[in-house]
Structure 1
């Protein structure tokens, strides 16, 4: 098992999240893994402070598959321009509204992305 963290960048004004098309996984994922891969300042969001909002356990795919135990942290960011990112890790990055995330086929994302987004929406509307 690998303990990893996702850093879900949540836009302060329009409630968009930043997802990247991860080269190795072949999926749209939040930044994270074993280290943060964006050139952004990590600012804990108002949603849950410095504590994770979500926890998942997921078997990975590929020849060196293993199980990831992932902590999903929500960080605050300005959802404007795309940040610099590690092009060895990601093909591209994109800001999506939470409704746009839920409208994407789950096969193209982390298998828990829709559940995370539902929880984030519920937390934001409390």
Structure 2
């Protein structure tokens, strides 16, 4: 199965909370139907990306990266690559590369949230499929070349440093963890 086909299946199975998430799911599916190259950075109309919020629920904290190009505290994530067989693997690969933590495990049951955000030309949109990844006890993070900084934040500190998408991702992740 291609990554494109996997993304379609993952999105069809996603039952995001609320009308806005269901609307985004439809937009993502329409995008993939219209753009066979919609998984790749080269797609000028936009492309899917995969990310993961790294959480340490035992300590009530999340690991965020200070993105080198954007200068914002974000979850780990990025572009899909030809070697990625699933969106889950792409998110896990990106989280491992950017956090330096080798033994992350995604929360089960697929994406936690979808987030569509504009990016500069020549492309126009990132259609981010957002997961949550659990850090094992004693996980040690190390900064990658893609980051200016890497830092653990207590749950209640995230709203002070991150944008609405990251705050929403944390809220949805906590709801899943507490369910």
CA distance in structure 2 between the partners assigned to 1:18 and 1:5 by the alignment: 16
CA distance in structure 2 between the partners assigned to 1:24 and 1:53 by the alignment: 25
2:105 matches 1:44: yes
Structure with more relative contact order (C-alpha pairs < 8 Å, separation 6 or more): 1
**Which one of 33, 50, 54 corresponds to residue 113 of structure 2?**
54
Moved more, 18-27 or 64-73: 64-73
CA distance in structure 2 between the partners assigned to 1:55 and 1:83 by the alignment: 25
1:35-114 superposed matches below 5 A: 36=94, 37-38=97-98, 39-45=100-106, 48-49=107-108, 51-60=110-119, 62=120, 64=122, 66-78=124-136, 80=138, 82-87=140-145, 89-102=146-159, 104=160, 109-114=162-167
2:155 matches 1:124: no
Please identify which structure carries the higher helix content. 2
* TM-score, length basis structure 1: 0.77
Moved more, 13-22 or 29-38: 29-38
Tell me by how many angstroms 1:111 deviates. 4.1
* TM-score, length basis structure 2: 0.57
Please identify which structure carries the higher strand content. 1
Total equivalences in the alignment: 118
CA distance in structure 2 between the partners assigned to 1:91 and 1:79 by the alignment: 25
Bigger Rg, structure 1 or 2: 2
Helix, strand or coil at the partner of 2:151: strand
